[in-house]
């Protein structure tokens, strides 16, 4: 097939998630001919939305991190608004009230004001407060925007300042749950990014949930002339000797691009290149189950006041692939009703997340759909039983339940192993060893919703605009 006969683009982007949409908007600003190729019928990737039983549900989004008030000049969120030319009010962000980290015999409250967490550490761990303040200074002084960082253990760096293992685990718990692809540790640079995003800046959420952000991004992208090709999967990437890439689609059609930005993930993108290397060790081990409980009253009426609760029922926090279908020892409880929203949501909701085992769920589903559904029902019962050790019981107020497993995550995101946070080894420069093909999104290394958008912007600036 002659490349000259193919439809030509300056840049083709694989995946219509946060990073892909942000990259597309940025490139369209500079009059590039750009198209986003999305395998599914809905945009959003890891952070999408759906309707079921007349209700709207978010996928992925518990809260948007890196919150900043209008007028803030520095930080990830103001940078995104400037780079994408989006007005502050378009995301309509509502800050959290107060969140909590709860372990046996200890808890730490935190909000979008670091002073609350600092006072909690001083009250619960008085011997560690000086070390905590030094850790905060070390985080502030670290340049997390440098793309060629040495990989260092976050635990080792924390232990230079914090000598109490319980406090160490309590600080790591929310950061790992919200972004670590590594088991039982984090890369120091990623720890810094997450520490700043959760504790220095904090949580917020649009009243309408993730749909508001995604709809805004999609509108800006299309208004600037970008093409969005839904139900358009990519089957092969073929670099051309003279430069550029032939992109073969599942439909049999082919396109040509000077550059390709892939948010599919490192291993997934390498597979599109037809590599015969064994990349199994690069597939992330961390996947999750999530259950959504709709209630006949607000969580606050049941004495559930935290916006987000990160908990461990054991003093030693374990963050690794579950040996069983689900690891009930720790988890996240998100209450979308408990943001500082002047317009209450129409229905109470609690979202519950646990670490899970992808292969066991997939094997069960392949063996029998009936056994798979039975396991989901048993999981919900066990979740509610275990949660009574952590929260006031709300089970008699549940009016509707939905749940999804790692096999669902893999199907809708394309992430092998249902690995929500992708490969444990990140590629901060976006380079994968091919001249005109680069990563953006999860496996590039910026974390969270804001991090994903920032990744798309930075990779577009670095590789498609220079």
Q: What was the pLDDT predicted at 172?
A: 98
Cα–Cα distance measured from residue 100 to residue 378, given in angstroms and rounded to the nearest whole number: 28
Segment 270-327, tens digit of pLDDT: 999 998 778 888 999 999 999 999 999 999 999 999 999 999 999 999 999 999 999 9
Torsions phi, psi for 456 (to 5 deg):
-60, -40
Distances (CA, A) of 199 to 146, 203, 210, 363, 381: 21, 9, 21, 39, 33
Q: Is the CA virtual torsion 306, 400, 40, 422 positive or negative?
A: positive
What pLDDT is stored for residue 150 in this prediction? 82
Checking if the pLDDT of 437 tops 90, the result is: yes
Name, of 48-52, 169-173, 337-341, the range with top average pLDDT.
Answer: 169-173
Whether 112 and 95 have beta carbons less than 8 Å apart is answered as yes
Query: Phi and psi dihedrals of 173, rounded to 5?
Result: -50, -60
**Res. 3 pLDDT band, cuts 50 70 90:** confident
Buried residues in 409-448 as b, exposed as e (16+ CB within 10 A): bbebbbbbbbbbbbbbebbbbbbbeeebbbbbbbbbbbbb
Instruction: Assess whether pLDDT exceeds 80 at residue 221.
Output: yes
| The pairing of beta strand 254-262 with beta strand 8-14 | parallel
Residue 191: the pLDDT is: 95
Q: Which residues have C-beta within 8 Å of that of residue 301, sequence separation ≥ 6?
A: 348
pLDDT value of residue 1: 62
Asked whether residue 170 carries a pLDDT value surpassing 70, the answer given is yes
Model confidence, pTM? 0.95
Longest CA–CA span in the chain (Å) reads 70
Query: Which has the minimum average pLDDT: 26-40, 301-315, 437-451?
Result: 437-451
CB contact at 8 A, 287 and 358: yes
Least confident window among 22-31, 302-311, 445-454, 455-464: 445-454
Residue 145's pLDDT band, with cuts at 50, 70 and 90, is: confident
């Amino acid at each position: 097939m002659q490349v000259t006969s193919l439809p030509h683009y300056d840049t083709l982007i694989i995946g219509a998630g946060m990073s892909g949409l942000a990259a597309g908007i940025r490139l369209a600003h500079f009059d590039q001919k750009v198209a986003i190729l999305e395998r599914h019928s809905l945009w959003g990737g890891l952070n999408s939305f759906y309707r079921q039983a007349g209700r709207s549900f978010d996928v992925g989004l518990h809260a948007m991190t890196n919150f900043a008030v209008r007028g803030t000049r520095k930080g990830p969120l103001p940078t995104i608004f400037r780079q994408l030319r989006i007005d502050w009010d378009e995301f309509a962000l509502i800050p959290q009230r107060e969140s909590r980290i709860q372990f046996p015999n200890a808890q730490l409250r935190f909000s979008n004001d670091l002073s609350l967490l600092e006072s909690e550490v001083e009250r619960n761990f008085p011997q560690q407060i000086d070390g905590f303040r030094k850790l905060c200074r070390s985080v502030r002084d670290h340049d997390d925007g440098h793309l060629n960082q040495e990989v260092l253990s976050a635990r080792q760096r924390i232990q230079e300042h914090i000598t109490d293992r319980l406090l160490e685990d309590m600080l790591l718990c929310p950061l790992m749950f919200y972004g670590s692809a590594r088991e039982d540790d984090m890369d120091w640079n990623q720890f810094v990014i997450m520490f700043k995003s959760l504790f220095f800046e904090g949580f917020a959420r649009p009243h309408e949930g993730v749909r508001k952000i995604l709809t805004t991004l999609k509108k800006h992208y299309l208004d600037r002339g970008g093409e969005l090709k839904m139900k358009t999967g990519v089957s092969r990437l073929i670099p051309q000797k003279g430069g550029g890439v032939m992109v073969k689609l599942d439909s049999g059609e082919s396109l040509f691009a000077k550059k390709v930005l892939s948010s599919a993930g490192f291993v997934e993108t390498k597979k599109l290149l037809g590599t015969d290397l064994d990349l199994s060790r690069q597939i992330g081990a961390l996947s999750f189950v999530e259950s959504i409980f709709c209630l006949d009253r607000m969580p606050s009426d049941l004495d559930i006041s935290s916006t987000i609760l990160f908990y461990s029922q054991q003093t030693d926090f374990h963050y690794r692939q579950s040996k069983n279908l689900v690891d009930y020892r720790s988890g996240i409880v998100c209450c979308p009703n408990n943001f500082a929203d002047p317009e209450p949501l129409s229905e109470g909701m609690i979202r519950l997340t646990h670490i899970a085992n992808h292969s066991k769920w997939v094997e069960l589903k392949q063996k029998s759909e009936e056994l798979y559904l039975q396991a989901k029902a048993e999981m919900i019962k066990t979740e509610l039983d275990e949660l009574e050790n952590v929260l006031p019981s709300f089970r008699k107020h549940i009016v509707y339940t939905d749940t999804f497993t790692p096999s669902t995550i893999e199907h809708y995101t394309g992430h092998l192993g249902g690995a929500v946070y992708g490969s444990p080894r990140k590629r901060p420069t976006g380079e994968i060893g091919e001249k005109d093909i680069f990563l953006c999104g999860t496996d590039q290394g910026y974390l969270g919703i804001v991090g994903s958008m920032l990744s798309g912007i930075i990779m577009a600036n670095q590789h498609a605009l220079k």
